[in-house]
Structure 1
Amino acid sequence: MVTSTRNETGWANWAGCETADCSVISPRGTGEIVEAVRRAAGRKLRPVGASHSFSGIARPEELQLRLDRHAGVRSIDTTTGLVTVEGGMPLYRLNPILAGARLALTNLGDIDRQTVAGALATGTHGSGARFGAISTQVRALELVTADGGVLHCSPTENPEVFEFARVSLGALGVISTVTLQTVPAFALCAQEMAVPLPEVLARFDELAENIDHFEFYWFPHTDRVQTRYKTRLPLDTTLAPLGRIRTWWDEELMANEVFRVAVAAGRRVPAAVVPINRFAVRVWGSRTYTDRSERVFTTSRRVRFKEMEYAIPRAAMPEAVRRVREVVDNSGWRIPFPVEVRVLAPDDIPLSMASGRASAFMAVHVPAQSRHEGYFGAVERIMADYGGRPHWGKIHTQDAAGLRKVYPLLDEFAALRRRLDPEGLFTNAYLDRVLGPIG
């Protein structure tokens, strides 16, 4: 029996750019998910995780199925490293549980608010030319389909569904449980420093190849980037984490409170953005520290923003960054947020941003209350010249016709969607745009 159903108004995603009025169903256990799905027949039921997507992918149109009560650990096998969790498990809770078993996810993004199911549905990733997105760590999953059936999916059981369900956009059903392949817990040594942008772009491929987890942040209106080099080390390495005062200064004061004030000042006085960005590059400074992997991968972000992210072939990224810089310099815009660039290994997941190619990612941001269309649109047009693939959970304007050009198996995915959800129980306007209508 579904024990938690309530009317709720005013749902919004983290950035506040997607909103809806809906009823919320919060099942506990696969049986209650099945019951909720069967009762929703004839209506629209949208599964949602932590609402951290910026696109309309999670927006409910009638009913929202929230997995916050379906968020436990089913099993941990420390011999094989296989860990099975319920779909609503948030990454920020899972990481310390794994650490307690001396295990870890091999790659993580810099945000840990997402649920496991939500991270898989949107293709959430981290960085590293030899490491894949979180979906590449999936070894099996349990999917509740539109007819209330439960499919157990793995490379040997319903493999044709498993192939697509690892990045499914929440369009195939409700991911009830996920089995992840973890690795022995490890440490990361992080080195951060400001470097001239031309130097980083000239050495981009070398840095991507030789550093385990490489990323950089370019501050628009400057010629400097903040680089982050993360090197994997055994956990028995002597850890040297940031002290409490330095952590408070860097992560709480500078990265959140001071940045919040700077963004607000830039919105009131756009001309102030240029000197603020130049000041930020100078004060960010250099630091080196070593800590458990999950503590180095993730950061706390409380300044609200809107985000767009595209993946392009890794070799094309230096040229793409130069073109974006030229557009920004010639536009008259004042962009307070840094542009984030990361790399990722190729994978075999049909709707993964890194499917079939070594990829680099560019993420651009604006304050949550600001207009994004001009800036994001200009960057999106540049990304299109390189066969860019948009992040499913972030703002973009692509539709099915355009996405077919960069996702060769998009129509096969859409056909599977029609087979598993012929009446469109799980659809919404966003899915109809990027996949085509069910009909």
Structure 2
Amino acid sequence: MTSPISRWSNWAGNQRATGVTVHHPRGTAEIAATVARVRSGGGRLKAIGSGHSFTAIGRPEGHQVAFDRHAGLVALDRATGLVTVEAGMTIRTLNAILRQAGLSMTNLGDIDKQTVSGAVSTGTHGTGATFGGIATQIRGLELVVADGTVLTCTAKENPEVFAAARVGLGALGLISTVTFQTEPAFAICAEEGPMPLDEVLSGLDALADGTDHFEFYWFPHTEVALTKRNTRLPYDTPLSPLPRWKTMVDDELLSNVAFAGVIGLSRRVPAGIPRLNQLTARALGARTFTDYSSEIFVSARRVRFVEMEYAVPRADLAAVVTEIRSMIESTGLRIPFPIEVRVAAADNIALSTAAGRESGYVAVHLPIGTDFWPYFRAVEAIAGQVQGRPHWGKMHSLDASAVRERYPRFDEFVALRDKLDPTGLFTNAYLDRVLGGRS
């Protein structure tokens, strides 16, 4: 199926395109045929999932592949935990399938609307000092490259492609299927509550190492952080999820409906943001509950925003947050969104933000429709002082020369891209900027 559309935009609405022809293949053979058809016409072809990236990484320039008809379960082996799915399956659907089968993903981010291929391609991660991102759970990929060849990629078959394509930015080809290593289903005990920010920062290593999955949110213009400590438990542990009314009050009414009202008011009266943040921070309460892992990992996000996230060496994480706090107060910026801070283990994937180093993540947000660049550029400059690496799906201003300095295996990745896609079939302006053109 092929359909011309007049316009496309991402989830946040900050990336748009017009005059796009959308292809809806079903099955790997149709994906390969689409690649051949677009290549023969001299066009460019980009895959798109749920459009949840804030950067233009998936912005089409002529042709776009949507995987809405290629989103099924291929294979599931309960004994080995290996699960193969088509590229368009969402994380939400994958979680539901795994739960029914008595399995869990080892780690997840806090959004489940992305497609599998989108989450893989942009380096989606969760939190946990000893846990890597989604890419570290991949055991196989099926990749359709520019000449129409379908590559089966594992640690043993096409290993150099497998090594890079686990965070491939959509630059190496179109992912058709992904095989994940899952594990027996597990529960998580979530302990959430406010702490003084200075106490969190001074004890950050102990907090991060003292539980399986740690993160915190800090509300600018306040001295309070909301900490989240998630401890893994056997799945046969008696579950004690939040009562439905508590979920509606905390996660819907306060975190989404009331927060949307606060954001709306802050846009009308920016001077009131510090006071609004202080009131929000005071409303934070402690709570403890136990549920299936994905129910804890994933949070509802109904207030639309634009986001930047940088990975910094974990040893520099507290200092980076401290400097961001000082910058906000010294510049007079008024920031209504909390700052999210997470940690992750090192991995060995060329363009992973955690490549070769234990990492801390600092994510900053502003409402859609606001001028976010003054704030984002100031945060970006602070992260740059410690060789921070931007999340590929979140806003940043780095080009290929800056990216090369921060990724030791950058040239290795670019050489593979040039080999697999010598004419730039899968590129766009964003990828040309961050990876450079072809020689």
Is TM (by shorter chain) over 0.5?
yes
Q: What is aligned with 1:335? A: 335
Matched ranges for 1:166-245 at <5 A: 166-245=166-245
Q: Distance in 1 between matches of 2:114 and 2:6?
A: 22
How many residues are paired up?
Answer: 436
Q: Distance in 2 between matches of 1:257 and 1:194?
A: 21
Q: What is aligned with 2:255? A: 255
Aligned-pair Cα RMSD in Å: 0.6
Q: What is aligned with 1:7? A: 4
SS of match in other structure, 1:40: helix
Q: What is aligned with 1:20? A: 17
Q: Distance in 2 between matches of 1:9 and 1:103?
A: 41
After superposition, the C-alpha distances for 1:157-188 in whole angstroms (9 at most, x for unaligned) are 00011110000000000000111000000000
Counterpart pick for 1:30 among 28, 31, 44: 28
After superposition, the C-alpha distances for 1:1-58 in whole angstroms (9 at most, x for unaligned) are xxx2111122111111100011111111001101100000110000111100000100
After superposition, the C-alpha distances for 1:234-254 in whole angstroms (9 at most, x for unaligned) are 000010000010000011111
Q: What is aligned with 1:349? A: 349
Q: Distance in 2 between matches of 1:84 and 1:9?
A: 34
After superposition, the C-alpha distances for 1:327-383 in whole angstroms (9 at most, x for unaligned) are 001111110000000000111111000011110000000001111111000000000
Q: Is 2:305 aligned against 1:305?
A: yes
Matched ranges for 1:33-432 at <5 A: 33-41=31-39, 42-432=42-432
SS of match in other structure, 1:330: helix
Q: Distance in 2 between matches of 1:94 and 1:278?
A: 38
Q: Distance in 2 between matches of 1:211 and 1:385?
A: 29
Q: Distance in 1 between matches of 2:437 and 2:386?
A: 27
* TM-score (normalised: structure 1): 0.99
Structure 1 letter corresponding to 2:256: N
Q: Distance in 2 between matches of 1:407 and 1:320?
A: 20
Structure 2 letter corresponding to 1:194: P
Q: Distance in 2 between matches of 1:417 and 1:349?
A: 15
Gaps of 5+ in 2: none
Q: Distance in 1 between matches of 2:193 and 2:22?
A: 45
Q: Distance in 2 between matches of 1:388 and 1:108?
A: 22
Q: Percent identity?
A: 55
Q: Distance in 2 between matches of 1:26 and 1:437?
A: 28
User: 1:424 Cα deviation (Å)?
Assistant: 0.5
Structure 1 letter corresponding to 2:404: R
Q: Distance in 2 between matches of 1:278 and 1:10?
A: 41
Runs of 4+ in 1 over 2 A off after TM superposition: none
User: 1:272 Cα deviation (Å)?
Assistant: 1.6
Gaps of 5+ in 1: none
Q: Distance in 2 between matches of 1:74 and 1:207?
A: 39
SS of match in other structure, 2:56: coil
Q: Distance in 2 between matches of 1:167 and 1:19?
A: 24
Q: Distance in 1 between matches of 2:268 and 2:308?
A: 23
User: 1:285 Cα deviation (Å)?
Assistant: 1.1
Q: Distance in 1 between matches of 2:107 and 2:336?
A: 28
SS of match in other structure, 1:398: coil
